[in-house]
Amino acid sequence: MKKLYVVGNRASKSLSPMIFNYWFKKYNIQASYGYLELTEKNFHKKIKEILEKKNTLGLNVTIPFKKKIIKHLGKIDAHAKKIGAVNCVTNKKTINGTNTDWTGYYRTLPNIKKTKNRKVVILGYGGASHAIHYVLKKRGFKDILIFNRSKKKIKYSNKTKYTKTYSNLDTHLKGVFLIINTTPTNPILKKHLKLISKSTIVSDIVYNPKNTSFLKQFPTNKKIYGISMLIEQAKPCFKMWFGKNPSVDEKMLNAIYKKI
């Protein structure tokens, strides 16, 4: 039986095993999906061991190992190279890595044609944020503002640019089309709320709980929930491993929503 895992420092909290094992049962696939909860100290040793096992077919990699995994791969695709992170590993004849976070987020975005002059604010600039920034650039958004606790150099720019600090948020929230929270906390304070329009779309990549403390502040705004990104990034992984596009049905969604 082929085995697959989600790898991270809090992997036991992940919903990925629930999603993939549901699909295995649905499509009668002889495989199992579990989790590997690793530390910075034992990561390289344990990953090497698991990838050397013949029955290990693939991995999903999450915080904080999306960069560290690259050392163990024979090849990574162009998107993962540009983003600088891998979240999906296929262990067949060779060990290959890709990034499906960006496609996952792409599929959650509303279908809008004119993106050039719409302002987007990204909160946080870690690995998932890089993938989201990448897809926004690909979608044609030009006015993207990134805020982070510490000063970081911004990727995908011809000029040298750095992230802004949260203390400057006040002056950039008016007229924002989309605000994306990529942090596990809530950087939006009460004083910021009156500056944000009710027509602004709000998005959080945290999926448990579904309605995060960040999203709760916007009861009437259109929302993009983190669970949507999780499911959408899982689909291309399943396709790479088993050659089939999995579908999401009501029974699966009900089980997930019950869990979160």
Catalytic residue among 66, 119, 223, 235: 66
How far is CA 229 from each of CA 22, 109, 210, rounded to the nearest angstrom?
Answer: 17, 10, 12
**How far is it, in rounded angstroms, from Cα 231 to Cα 19?**
8
Q: Is 66 a catalytic residue?
A: yes
- Between strands 201-204 and 176-181, the pairing is parallel
Which residues partner with 32 through β-bridges?
3
**How far is it, in rounded angstroms, from Cα 62 to Cα 13?**
11
Neighbours of 95 (CB within 10 A): 19
The token pair that represents 226 in the structure block: 């983190």
**How far is it, in rounded angstroms, from Cα 61 to Cα 9?**
10
Neighbours of 189 (CB within 10 A): 11
**How far is it, in rounded angstroms, from Cα 117 to Cα 22?**
41
Which residues partner with 33 through β-bridges?
4
27 phi and psi angles, rounded to 5 deg: -100, 10
Q: Within the chain, where are the H helices?
A: 16-26, 43-52, 78-83, 101-106, 127-138, 190-193, 213-216, 226-242, 250-259
**How far is it, in rounded angstroms, from Cα 222 to Cα 212?**
14
Q: What residues are labeled active site?
A: 66
